[in-house]
Amino acid sequence: MKKVAVIYKNSDNQEVIKYLKNNLEKIFENYIIVENHYLDELPSNFKIHADAYIITDETMLYPLKERITNYNNIVTMYRSIKKQKLYEISNIPSNTNVLIINDTYETSVQTLCSLYELGMGHINLVPFDPSDADNPQYKDFKICITPNEVHLVPEYIQKTINIGYREISFETLMRLMIRLELDFELTNRNLVRHIKSIAEPNIYIYNNYLNNFVKNYVFDSVINDSPTALIITNEKYHILFSNNKAKEMFNLKSKSAVIPLSNIMESDKFAEIQEETMPKDGIIFNGIQYFIEKKPIMLIDEIMGYHIILQNEKDIRDIEINAKKMLEKKGLVAKYNFSDIIHVSRKMKECINTAKTVALTDHTVLITGESGTGKELMAQSIHNYSDRKNMSFVAINCAAIPESLLESELFGYESGSFTGAKRNGKLGLFEQANGGSIFLDEIGDISPNLQSRLLRVLQERQIMRIGSNRMISIDTRILAATNKDLLSEVEKGNFRRDLFYRLNVISICIEPLRNRREDILPLISSFLGAKYNHLNDSNKNLLYTYSWPGNIRELENTAIHYNTLSTLPKYLLNTPITPLTINNTDKPADSVCIEMEILKIIMENSQCFHGIGRLQINNYLKSLQIKIGDANLRNILQNLQERDLITIGKGRNGTKITKLGIQKIKYF
Ligand SMILES: Nc1ncnc2c1ncn2[C@@H]1O[C@H](COP(=O)(O)OP(=O)(O)OP(=O)(O)O)[C@@H](O)[C@H]1O
């Protein structure tokens, strides 16, 4: 604990003396002890021993010369006033005569000077002398300002502004801290709280201090508490700074002096760190493998030190998880992966293969397909398969937001650029997605004005906020989607041709569900879970043959309906079975599809008199990549016969399709 001696001229104003002592102790907590002394009461030859001395007036320096042990550690106490009171004073009309009343003429002058220093030059301040209180020249004053000396205010004063006891100024406190070599970290918070409430004439130092406080705070929370070990050394590899993780790893004391890096690690490891390139496989400390990154700290072309980062695999994983969590909190993540896209159809497989290849590049992708086919699912999967997976994924539906708003959402704006704009401006989605991907859904619906702004972004990879004339470079991967036929929109003049070609670098077209029916039952099975087994064949037939204009979204709703009410929606049950127009060659995934394939094979390969044999049917199935085994096939054929869809002849007669079977295919 450090000792601070506060020396006053006399002990007259005990209230103020007590107030200031309290103030100091509140700010510096247990790090200092305050002792008050009064110049006019010091016994002769008495010397004051302390780590720092505070005097209230520079004229005290001379009489104190022989009294104090360390003449260099003297700080003059300057005082300031509460900000709130200053606002009140600044509201006094210009050129008003105002009396400044303090306990002595000198302190009145001091208060007056503080007020002028704080910029209150618009009023005429006159110091009051309590020992000459009856002086007729004071009688014309109507307003006075006093630091808590209300009892001295003469009766003729109509308005008194009591500014309370004056506070110890920020500059005084800073000087004291330096003299006492106090750790700034320990007292920073109290000091910031104190100075935020007082007015400060030296606004430059004051702001600088507050800015540094913020910087240090960030430094502390980001660097000191980082899960990565960080060490900063001078050019001789003597440690100047180590964060908490590094301290823990190398057992460094929190306030250790500058120690050589070679003291805390084995010589062969230190030798490796001194090399220009770090070992690829890292270095083992305490049985754990660490990857090391070393960067020189340069001053022009001279190395001043090194910045060394040590990370083990778990740290790296933790960092990734933390970053992901942060993005999740902000809703800036892509949830889905390719493995979430349920499919068996060849069409979808081809789509996913293309998407996986393009995901590894930075090309713009245009995903087309009817509504509800899974375009956003595809976009999210592309993002999560790409190198940008740990960065943000920002999705916006361009059709759902009015044009004026969409522009500011996408590009952001500078402060005060339009009425209603937020005071601090706003970060646009392109900037938010920097390093990651932006998904522009329903791109076919954007206005001509936005089309041309977007074209510029695609061409220059730069954006300009609304109300700004500064270009900001962005590294955002663009994924766009539309359910419109963009080319025909181009022909109609609704969509810019140049933008179409910029977007359509790689296009992925997701077929509607009715064009890849093999996916229907696997999808419904995944949505229904165990309840899928409750569906009877005619239900499955219905699902399989329905045209699904709402695609997978509609199928999802149907699954919810069935799960809740154990029946398919009425509109579906009442839908007449429509004949299919698609020539479907994909591998069926479910018994219904397999049955249909078998029926088709029988129909196409049985002549009027000769049917087809089981072996032949199986060979055809194998050529379609359907492997079901002979026993299975026999059961299916048996079942089809029981339903009068086929006849199984004996011997060479083979299996033939019935009229009913042909009808079934026709309407399937
Ligand atoms: N193959 C699939 N497997 C599983 N779920 C899917 C599949 N395709 C789509 N979905 C689901 O269907 C719903 C609609 O998908 P999504 O929103 O990606 O479609 P979209 O084409 O972007 O629709 P819109 O054009 O209306 O924006 C989502 O809940 C999605 O998870």
Q: How far is the CA of 338 from the centre of ligand 1 (A)?
A: 12
* 562 vs 522: CA distance, rounded Å: 15
**Candidate from 185-189, 513-517, 602-606, 664-668 with smallest mean pLDDT:** 664-668
pTM score above 0.80:
no
What CATH number corresponds to the domain at position 638?
1.10.10.10
Residue 424 pLDDT grade (very low, low, confident, very high; cuts 50, 70, 90): low
ipTM: 0.98
Residue 413 forms part of a structural domain: yes
What CATH number corresponds to the domain at position 551?
1.10.8
Domain around 28 = 1-81+166-219
Q: How confident is the model over 563-618, as pLDDT tens digits?
A: 999 999 998 887 765 443 333 334 434 556 778 888 888 888 776 667 888 888 88
What CATH number corresponds to the domain at position 150?
3.40.50.980
Cβ(344) – ligand 1 distance below 6 Å: no
Q: How confident is the model over 225-266, as pLDDT tens digits?
A: 777 888 989 999 998 888 888 888 888 876 556 788 888 888
Output the pLDDT for position 76.
92
Between 587 and 658, the more confident residue is 658
Residue 83 pLDDT grade (very low, low, confident, very high; cuts 50, 70, 90): confident
Q: How far is the CA of 335 from the centre of ligand 1 (A)?
A: 12
Q: Which atom of ligand 1 is nearest to the CA of 380?
A: 18
Q: Are 127 and 63 contained in the same domain?
A: no
Q: How far is the CA of 377 from the centre of ligand 1 (A)?
A: 6
What CATH number corresponds to the domain at position 257?
3.30.450.20
pLDDT surpassing 80 at residue 330: no
Residue 270 forms part of a structural domain: yes
**Contact indicator for 144, 96 with CB cutoff of 8 Å:** no
Instruction: Please state the domain count of the chain.
Output: 6
Between 469 and 295, the more confident residue is 295
* 568 vs 89: CA distance, rounded Å: 77
Q: What average pLDDT does range 350-362 have in this prediction?
A: 95
**Candidate from 311-320, 328-337, 408-417 with smallest mean pLDDT:** 311-320
Between 21 and 401, the more confident residue is 21
* 468 vs 413: CA distance, rounded Å: 7
Cβ(172) – ligand 1 distance below 6 Å: no
* 414 vs 431: CA distance, rounded Å: 13
Domain end call among 456, 479, 509: 509
* 657 vs 27: CA distance, rounded Å: 96
Q: How far is the CA of 523 from the centre of ligand 1 (A)?
A: 11
pLDDT surpassing 70 at residue 553: yes
In sequence order, which residues have a C-beta less than 8 Å from that of residue 213 and are 6 or more positions away?
188, 192
Cβ(508) – ligand 1 distance below 6 Å: no
Q: Are 349 and 471 contained in the same domain?
A: yes
Q: How far is the CA of 435 from the centre of ligand 1 (A)?
A: 25
What CATH number corresponds to the domain at position 398?
3.40.50.300
Q: Are 180 and 237 contained in the same domain?
A: no
Q: Are 498 and 407 contained in the same domain?
A: yes
- Length of the chain equals 668
Q: Are 354 and 311 contained in the same domain?
A: no
Residue 369 pLDDT grade (very low, low, confident, very high; cuts 50, 70, 90): very high
Q: Whose CA is nearest to atom 23 of ligand 1?
A: 372
Q: What average pLDDT does range 190-218 have in this prediction?
A: 70
Q: What is the DSSP string of 294-324?
A: EEEEEETTEEEEEEEEEEEHHHHHHHHHHHH
Q: What average pLDDT does range 653-657 have in this prediction?
A: 86
Q: What average pLDDT does range 397-407 have in this prediction?
A: 85
Residue 284 forms part of a structural domain: yes
Cβ(512) – ligand 1 distance below 6 Å: no
pLDDT surpassing 90 at residue 512: yes
Q: Are 161 and 107 contained in the same domain?
A: yes
Q: Are 405 and 524 contained in the same domain?
A: no
Output the pLDDT for position 85.
84
Output the pLDDT for position 527.
94
Q: Are 463 and 395 contained in the same domain?
A: yes
In sequence order, which residues have a C-beta less than 8 Å from that of residue 340 and are 6 or more positions away?
377, 381
Q: How far is the CA of 376 from the centre of ligand 1 (A)?
A: 6
Cβ(352) – ligand 1 distance below 6 Å: no
Report the helix count and the strand count for the chain, using DSSP H and E.
25, 27
Residue 502 forms part of a structural domain: yes
Residue 331 forms part of a structural domain: no
Instruction: Show the tokens assigned to 345.
Output: 């159809």
Strands 426-427 and 477-482: unpaired
Ordered strands of the 159-162 beta sheet? 124-127, 97-100, 143-146, 159-162
* 340 vs 45: CA distance, rounded Å: 88
Residue 333 forms part of a structural domain: no
Strand partners, 283: 290
Substitution candidate for ligand 1 out of 345, 373, 508, 554 with most atoms within 8 A of CB: 373
* 363 vs 443: CA distance, rounded Å: 17
Instruction: Show the tokens assigned to 440.
Output: 């522009």
Q: What average pLDDT does range 426-439 have in this prediction?
A: 89
Cβ(443) – ligand 1 distance below 6 Å: no
In sequence order, which residues have a C-beta less than 8 Å from that of residue 351 and are 6 or more positions away?
378, 508, 509, 510, 511
Domain end call among 284, 316, 348: 316
For the chain, give the mean pLDDT.
85
Q: How many CB atoms lie within 10 A of CB 318?
A: 14
Cβ(342) – ligand 1 distance below 6 Å: yes
pLDDT surpassing 80 at residue 172: yes
* 301 vs 299: CA distance, rounded Å: 6
Q: How far is the CA of 503 from the centre of ligand 1 (A)?
A: 21
Cβ(373) – ligand 1 distance below 6 Å: yes
Output the pLDDT for position 587.
40
Q: If you ran DSSP here, which 8-state letter would residue 55 be given?
A: E
Between 595 and 158, the more confident residue is 158
Residue 414 forms part of a structural domain: yes
Q: How confident is the model over 89-124, as pLDDT tens digits?
A: 988 999 999 999 999 999 899 889 888 888 888 999
Q: Are 390 and 456 contained in the same domain?
A: yes
Q: Are 67 and 176 contained in the same domain?
A: yes
Q: Whose CA is nearest to atom 29 of ligand 1?
A: 553
Percent of the chain whose predicted confidence (pLDDT) is above 90: 37
Residue 327 forms part of a structural domain: no
Q: Are 449 and 368 contained in the same domain?
A: yes
Q: Are 293 and 419 contained in the same domain?
A: no
